[in-house]
Amino acid sequence: MAYTTINKPTDYFNTKLYTGDGTDGREITGVGFQPDWCWFKARSTAYENQVYDVVRGATKRLVTNDTTAEGTQTNGLQSFDSDGFTVGNGNGTNVNAVTYASWNWLAGGTASSNTDGSITSTVSANTTSGFSIVSYTGNGTAGATVGHGLGSIPQVVITKERNGTAWWGGYFASLGNTKSIYLNQTNAADTSVQFWNNTSPTSSVFTVGNNSISNRAVGGSTYIAYCFAEKKGFSKFGSYTGNGNADGTFVYTGFKPAFVLVKLSSGADDWQILDNKRNTFNVMNEYLLPNSSSITITNNVVDFLSNGFKLRTSAGSWNPSGGTFIYMAFAESPLVGTNNIPATAR
């Protein structure tokens, strides 16, 4: 019996590793599609996390480990290409001999206007993979709504003020609609009606309060939002509780993961990213931090399995006893696709 209609997750998400050569206008190929959102992190040198998307446009950079406003980085990502992207020789994308990870998602290409919410948005959406990129201008009104274009309910909405220095915001369904968690910070999840107006997203809109992370009380701030709806066999967003044991908690995803982002939501600690390209066998031991410019950290932490991931550490940032974590996971291969071929373990 078919488990999912996405037999090839790399059509929608893929990690691309490369080593910088210091040239301007370098084409990086092998992503497998023309990406709409690219996230870059240097592995061997302490450079910032940089993100670019098709809605804001190539060269328009945001930094996940900082609160800086959007800036034009002409030597960062220069174009989104049919099988990857072109980069300049900036620190975040192509310094000679520096190793890089890039995480790439497919949205819907050229954006269009969306009037589903009380605030008109500009949206690039992929309803198959459940990912959309949304740009909008805040009006400072608590309870304002923004169309996301997914046609299904997002479990994750990540926001950033583009023309100001507000923190990154994060709605996670597993935390509930009274809380936000900040991509640029180590903080535990915070509670306030001002984040999402205590209202969960619907299949057409997400709701914002009058806080700077989503809809600054003084109107006129522009925002970008990255929205994710769960798709069986391709993406999973949820929470787990640590057991404080090296024979750690198992998290069922329904697929072999390609990418996992983890954050302790009940306390202060780093965000962490694992992927299947930097870590090609278990136990996986190389991870990067979205909230920090630090280089690769190496510790044995997680196994990627055919149907989820299992913690292999009792470390406080991954698996403390009773600690509550949120996670985002994307697939390398589904448990079973329409071809009825099951995923295998590593």
pLDDT, tens digit, for every residue of 308-323?
A: 999 999 999 999 999 9
pLDDT tens digits along 184-209: 999 999 999 999 999 999 999 999 99
Asked which of 104-108, 229-233, 338-342 is least confident by mean pLDDT, the reply is 338-342
The whole model's pTM is what?
Answer: 0.96
Q: Which helix (H) or strand (E) holds 308?
A: strand 308-311
Asked which of 22-31, 56-65, 217-226 is least confident by mean pLDDT, the reply is 217-226
pLDDT tens digits along 22-35: 999 999 999 999 99
Q: Do 121 and 146 contact (CB within 8 A), yes or no?
A: yes
Q: Do 59 and 78 contact (CB within 8 A), yes or no?
A: yes
**Burial class of 96 by CB neighbour count within 10 A (0 to 12, 13 to 18, 19+):** exposed
174 band by pLDDT with thresholds 50, 70 and 90 = very high
What value does the mean pLDDT take over residues 5-12?
A: 92
* CA quadruple 300, 305, 308, 312: dihedral, nearest 10: -20
Distance CA 140, CA 199 (A): 16
Residue 103 above 50 pLDDT?
Answer: yes
Average pLDDT, the chain: 95
3 band by pLDDT with thresholds 50, 70 and 90 = low
At 219 the pLDDT is 80
pLDDT tens digits along 255-300: 999 999 999 999 999 999 999 999 999 999 999 999 999 999 999 9
Q: Do 124 and 132 contact (CB within 8 A), yes or no?
A: yes
Find tokens 């908690």 and name the residue: 249
Q: Determine what percent of the chain falls in helix, strand and coil, rounding each to the nearest 5.
A: 0, 45, 55
At 338 the pLDDT is 58
Residue 2 above 60 pLDDT?
Answer: no
Pairing between strand 308-311 and 37-42? unpaired
CA 230 to chain centre: 13
Terminal Cα-to-Cα distance of the chain (whole angstroms): 23
| Residue ranges covered by each domain of the chain | 9-105, 112-229, 240-334
Residue 346 above 90 pLDDT?
Answer: no
Report the percentage of the chain scoring pLDDT > 90.
93
What value does the mean pLDDT take over residues 52-72?
A: 98
Q: Do 163 and 59 contact (CB within 8 A), yes or no?
A: no
Residue 45 above 90 pLDDT?
Answer: yes
Residue 1 above 50 pLDDT?
Answer: no
What value does the mean pLDDT take over residues 2-15?
A: 87
62 band by pLDDT with thresholds 50, 70 and 90 = very high
pLDDT tens digits along 133-171: 999 999 999 999 999 999 999 999 999 999 999 999 999
334 band by pLDDT with thresholds 50, 70 and 90 = confident
At 217 the pLDDT is 82
Report the percentage of the chain scoring pLDDT > 70.
96
At 98 the pLDDT is 98
Residue 253 above 60 pLDDT?
Answer: yes
Q: Which helix (H) or strand (E) holds 222?
A: strand 222-229
At 342 the pLDDT is 62
